[in-house]
Chains A and B, each alone.
Chain A
């Protein structure tokens, strides 16, 4: 299939056959219907993938559990080993993965759509490292005690970094990435210095320098999960105005949208999503970059569909990375951020090369 290479903006690329359809106006309605059906089919496929990822995430690990045993552990309360593992370790961890994956994927998609920058992503822009750094510093000042405190600190750090990076690098997409990387490097250097100075204080906070889902199975999920779910609901509400904003500020205004309000709402949502995800799992980069890029082609320029696909694909990718992280080492496991970086960096290269071809 030959795709429309000049379609730079997603909206222009709804369907490569769109031009031909214009010639035969009678069939356009049928085509729209078939496009809608295709989108539903794709969504169903993604949901199936999510189910597979959920099963794998509960079954695979240091002690493999057969899916049948998982089912038995879920429905009955026999109190056996499989029951304990499923209920106390892998179940909460899988839920955590679903929340964090959806949050990071949607945050990445919102930033990319808002800035019209295919390279933007909270991890790459340093927003998640800013959140992790804020928790580290809060720990030094004795503020990061409760979960609410951590969440507030992470959101504050995310907001400050987002504003700083955007102020410095908004002129050009590639520059934005570079600014984010530089800022992450500075913050990680300072964190490492602090940690070496006060090893006993910072041993607890080491976790927030590299993202991982391990070791937080016992932490109560209610507060961060509620925040993420509320922010995701907000993101769903903001899709319509955002869909108009994709066409450009003027078009959005003439369609009756409040551009400034939409922008602010999106930024607040991104901050909340990235902050909450970092507060529970540490900084995880590249996930928010990969997911929207995978979802963009099937969504075909529609922001609501892109949002739906992102919400499903984000957990799929994070859970798959987490399962990989568990089996990569003969003993113990790799932090999941290592896996997402290894899998996601090619997505960055691909995006950069693609932009190169379009611009040339």
Chain B
């Protein structure tokens, strides 16, 4: 590929890294923002390690325990660390899935939780528990299948309506409502012990996760995250519009299929492990985009913002009503719903009133 003759000013403020045949280019601001978000995520993670279970441990002691010294080694390493790691990894996965879907639909509202993929993945998980009764592998596979089916249903039902922004979303809302109804029917039909387990998990919760439960999901998430990362240059081209993307050598349909697979995979893996956690996938990509000041949805800031959001929401969920451990999904729903309403209000003002400037 030939270099442009006169690079626009934006490109000059970017960092290019070349290793052999591979090259990597990122905006300087994106890099700085990603670094700051990473630091914030680690900070929130440390806070989560200090706080867990309603009691406070000094940060120094936590760090010592992480290194393997002191009295609280078991508490910190075996009890709190899995939860914190899960919060960071699952948040990143949800942020990534949201970024992928928002860039495919070119719509800040087109995230997997709004269009019903979480509910579909949850249906798959419930089906695995109540009917198939298999192990974690069946659970993960079934929830991925549920998410894919929900995605396919939303896509097919929005065909012929020009897939235009809000219409896709409202079809997604309808599919979401049907799946949620189906889910509550499955839970009510199930045996009592299954039903109790499923209800505790139905609003999305990180309570009581241990290493055995999160090892496989995290490995899957890391593997899936490589896919959008590898495809991100092509994603940037598609942000310019279909014609532009095809003209610059992007094969659109295979790209979209791979991205949808990665996005649904991330969402479904998180749902299988922690239940449907709403609104992280909606908010994180937009927060990352605002901070990084990019035109399209940038992947790394979105994933890191998701990690920060979910772990912060989990800390809030543990502290807010201290003896009661709220499911983290409740906190993300309230915060994310308010965010969605604010988003809509801003758009409505922009649509109704004269331009502010």
Q: Which of B166, B175, B334, B341 has a CB less than 8 Å from the CB of A172? A: B166
Q: Tell me the bound Cα distance from A169 to B109 in angstroms.
A: 15
Contact A186/B338 with A174-B170, A178-B169, A193-B330 known, Cβ cut-off 8 Å: yes
Contact A352/B170 with A169-B348, A334-B184, A338-B181 known, Cβ cut-off 8 Å: yes
Q: Which of B160, B182, B184, B331 has a CB less than 8 Å from the CB of A356? A: B160
A-B contact count (CB 8 A): 133
> Does the CB pair B333–A179 fall under 8 Å?
no
Does residue B3 face the partner (Cβ distance < 8 Å to A)?
no
**Interface mask (B318-329 → A, CB under 8 Å = 1, otherwise 0):** 001100101100
Chain A, range 331-357, C-beta contacts under 8 Å to B: 332, 334-335, 338-339, 341-342, 344-346, 348-349, 352-353, 355-357
Query: Chain B contacts of A170 at CB under 8 A?
Result: 348
> Does the CB pair B181–A175 fall under 8 Å?
no
Does residue B173 face the partner (Cβ distance < 8 Å to A)?
yes
Chain B, range 103-126, C-beta contacts under 8 Å to A: 109
Contact A171/B177 with A182-B337, A185-B278, A186-B334 known, Cβ cut-off 8 Å: no
Query: Chain A contacts of B324 at CB under 8 A?
Result: 196-197
Q: Tell me the bound Cα distance from A178 to B348 in angstroms.
A: 12
> Does the CB pair A172–B351 fall under 8 Å?
yes
Does residue A190 face the partner (Cβ distance < 8 Å to B)?
yes
> Does the CB pair A341–B180 fall under 8 Å?
yes
How many B residues have CB within 8 A of the partner chain? 46
> Does the CB pair B174–A352 fall under 8 Å?
yes
Does residue A189 face the partner (Cβ distance < 8 Å to B)?
yes
In the assembled complex, the CB of B111 is this many whole angstroms from the nearest CB of chain A, namely 12
Contact A342/B178 with A185-B333, A189-B334 known, Cβ cut-off 8 Å: yes
Does residue B345 face the partner (Cβ distance < 8 Å to A)?
yes
Q: Tell me the bound Cα distance from A335 to B180 in angstroms.
A: 13
Q: Tell me the bound Cα distance from A13 to B344 in angstroms.
A: 33
> Does the CB pair B321–A197 fall under 8 Å?
yes
Does residue A181 face the partner (Cβ distance < 8 Å to B)?
yes
A-B contact pairs, 26 of them (CB 8 A): A119-B170, A169-B348, A172-B351, A174-B170, A175-B166, A178-B169, A178-B340, A179-B344, A185-B278, A185-B333, A186-B334, A193-B321, A210-B184, A329-B188, A334-B184, A338-B181, A341-B177, A341-B181, A342-B181, A345-B178, A346-B174, A346-B178, A348-B171, A348-B173, A352-B174, A360-B162
Extra pairs beyond A119-B170, A171-B348, A352-B167 (19, CB < 8 Å): A170-B348, A175-B348, A177-B170, A185-B336, A186-B341, A189-B203, A189-B333, A189-B334, A190-B334, A193-B330, A196-B330, A197-B321, A334-B185, A349-B171, A353-B171, A356-B160, A357-B160, A357-B161, A360-B161
